[in-house]
Chain A
Amino acid sequence: GAGVSQSPSNKVTEKGKDVELRCDPISGHTALYWYRQSLGQGLEFLIYFQGNSAPDKSGLPSDRFSAERTGGSVSTLTIQRTQQEDSAVYLCASSLAVGAGKTQYFGPGTRLLVL
C-alpha cells in the first residue's frame, strides 16, 4: 500500500516568506508526527497529532511554527517569516496509534532552504 507522502519534496524560499509543508499519512494511521533533521544532525521532534488534536506541541521551535491536521488525515506544517536557521529536512511520520509498539513510518521529507 501507499506509504507516507510529503510535498513539496524541495522548497527554496527567501527569508521572511511563509511556507507550508504537507504530509499525507498512511491510510488508517491515527497518529502523525513532525520532525526536522538539520544537516548531519539527528531527529528533532516538533509535534504530534492523535486524530486532529495535538497533545504535545513542545517541540515547535518558536511561535512562527504551527501545524494542523484536519479530518484525521492530512497535516500541514506552516512556518511564518522563515529564517535561515529554519533550513532543514522536515520529516513526517505516522503510526496506527501512539505507543512504543506502534511503529512510526516516515515519509521522504521536504528539504527546505531559506536564502
Chain B
Amino acid sequence: DAKTTQPPSMDCAEGRAANLPCNHSTISGNEYVYWYRQIHSQGPQYIIHGLKNNETNEMASLIITEDRKSSTLILPHATLRDTAVYYCIVRVESGGSNYKLTFGKGTLLTVNP
C-alpha cells in the first residue's frame, strides 16, 4: 500500500472548518483513500473514503486532487469532540493482504474553545 504523509499536529478553533492534509504521492490507480480518527481511549472511527471523486457524508468532506497525489479531509464546523488523532491511509482495491489496516502516526487535531 502507498505511504501517506500527514502533519503531526494541527489546531482549530471551535466552530471553524478543520482542513487536514494528506500526501500520498505514490498512490496507485486502484488504491482508495480512507480516513479514520481515534479519540483518546476509544476505538478507531471510520470517517470517509474515496477513490477519485470528492466525497461528502454527515461527518466530513474528502477532497482528492485531480492527480490523486494528495487529499484534504474537511470537518466543516469543528467541535471540541472532534479532538482526536486523524489517520489517512490508502488501501489497494483487492488482492494481497489488503484487509490489514495499518495506521501511520496521523495528525493530532486539537479543537480549542
A residues in contact (CB < 8 Å) with B: 4, 31, 33, 35, 42-43, 45, 48, 56, 59, 91, 93, 98-101, 103-109
B103 x A100 contact (CB < 8 A):
no
Residue in contact with B45 in the complex, picked from A35, A48, A106, CB distance below 8 Å: A106
A43 x B102 contact (CB < 8 A):
yes
Chain B positions 87 through 107: 1 when the CB is less than 8 Å from some CB of chain A, otherwise 0:
000011110011111111100
Complex CA gap A31/B94 in Å reads: 15
The B interface, classified by DSSP as helix, strand, loop or mixed, is: loop
Complex CA gap A48/B99 in Å reads: 8
B residues in contact (CB < 8 Å) with A: 31-32, 34, 42-46, 49, 91-94, 97-105
Residue in contact with A100 in the complex, picked from B32, B43, B44, B105, CB distance below 8 Å: B32
Closest to B42 in A: A108
Complex CA gap A33/B45 in Å reads: 15
CB distance from A24 to the nearest CB of B (A): 13
Complex CA gap A43/B87 in Å reads: 11
New A-B contacts (13) at CB < 8 Å, excluding given A4-B43, A100-B91, A109-B43: A42-B102, A42-B105, A43-B103, A45-B100, A56-B97, A56-B99, A59-B100, A93-B44, A99-B94, A100-B98, A103-B46, A104-B99, A106-B44
